[in-house]
Copies of this chain bind each other. A is one copy, B any other.
């Protein structure tokens, strides 16, 4: 196992003159040479271009300090093919970079390459394998983005979540995944799946790393203060708790105990009925929008869709505008009810996934503990550090209040330290 690369620590070392961006790029390429053959996280990589970029003057002074960044392959890039995980777009070269790619470059990031995704960020797996155990799925859809960080090949990667595509692979691969508040990072230049749900986010080794990278890229104050604030967590198991494996329950309990041991209050919170009900609203919202988002591919490239996606879209066509509107109203009610119910807490502590990464590569696992939080638009962080019955990672999820990303990252960092110290 290669050690993970901490973006915040690397940037600090670059600024202090202990490392150069070229050193970091070379370290990444060394890890890629060692691990990529097994892991298969990249769909495109240009080592020479990365080394050339890393020699540019002045990078150390810029927000991302010349760190390499991996970009999920449903995000448009001019300099790399953007295959979107689909044969329809093999070799596709967009005419413009996605806004987030330009933001990363403007912040002094170096675009290292493209990271594998399931087909259009849906369920048909990519070739990527879990760096923690190659026989297991890394999760999806941001498979390559999570795996590259877990394998120590890159310090920062960009991913997206429509159901559970950031938090789940982060949990399976034992890395930090951060799904910001809805629309905090602009989705312009991403292949849409469902515009009410598609959310851009980040992977890094630790909470400090995703906070650092998100702040650097967005220009927002997202790095939690070191003010000793001790959070009050709402422990939420949801109406779907029975779908979590025993070791996922054990991980959540261990996280809660660690938080308490570190001084935090942890109170059990039963979600209001309106919030639980919204879980059922995810389906019609996603399906109705996907049927329109893939109208062109459905009409023109039907034979090149996987059976998984084609059959999903076939049933998605039957969701009526009335059903969609009702689901949207249910999600609006859930957002308000959640804001009320969680008002007294700093963050919710809940499952990231149903358990360890499933064995094999036929499935990327279930988003059952993610989609509700995507629908509400709340910021979510997968906190790593715990393991399951077979020794694979099991993350726990910190869900914050909409728009309170800095506080959410602060609560996640508190929990991360508590878990680390408790071991």
Interface residues of A (CB under 8 A from B): 78, 89, 92, 95-97, 99, 102-103, 105-106, 183, 186-189, 192, 195, 218-220, 289, 292-293, 295-297, 299-300, 320-321, 325, 403
Contacts and interface: CB of A to CB of B under 8 A. Distances in A.
A296 B192 contact: no
A296 B96 CA distance: 6
A286 B220 CA distance: 18
Contacts of A192: 188
A102 B295 CA distance: 6
Contacts of A320: 219
A287 to B, nearest CB: 14
B186 A289 contact: yes
Nearest to A329: B403
B220 A292 contact: no
A74 to B, nearest CB: 13
A300 B78 CA distance: 11
A100 to B, nearest CB: 9
B186 A299 contact: no
A347 to B, nearest CB: 20
B95 A321 contact: no
Nearest to A297: B96
Given A95-B89, A186-B195, A219-B321, A106 B299 contact: yes
A103 B292 contact: yes
A317 to B, nearest CB: 10
A218 B321 contact: yes
B321 A106 contact: no
Give the number of copies in the complex: 2
B219 A102 contact: no
**Shortest 7 CB-CB distances between A and B: which pairs?**
A102-B295, A96-B296, A99-B292, A97-B296, A220-B321, A186-B292, A99-B295
A103 B289 CA distance: 12
Nearest to A95: B92
Contacts of A299: 97, 102, 105-106
Nearest to A299: B102
A322 to B, nearest CB: 9
Given A102-B292, A219-B321, 9 more contacts: A92-B95, A96-B296, A99-B295, A102-B299, A105-B299, A106-B295, A106-B299, A186-B293, A220-B321
B296 A102 contact: yes
A188 B196 CA distance: 12
Contacts of A95: 89, 92
A160 to B, nearest CB: 15
Contacts of A220: 321
Contacts of A102: 292, 295-296, 299
Given A92-B95, A95-B92, A78 B296 contact: yes
Nearest to A289: B186
Contacts of A325: 403
Contacts of A96: 296-297, 300
A198 to B, nearest CB: 10
A5 to B, nearest CB: 27
Nearest to A102: B295
A292 B299 CA distance: 31
A188 B292 CA distance: 8
A154 B183 CA distance: 37
A102 B300 CA distance: 10
Contacts of A103: 292, 295
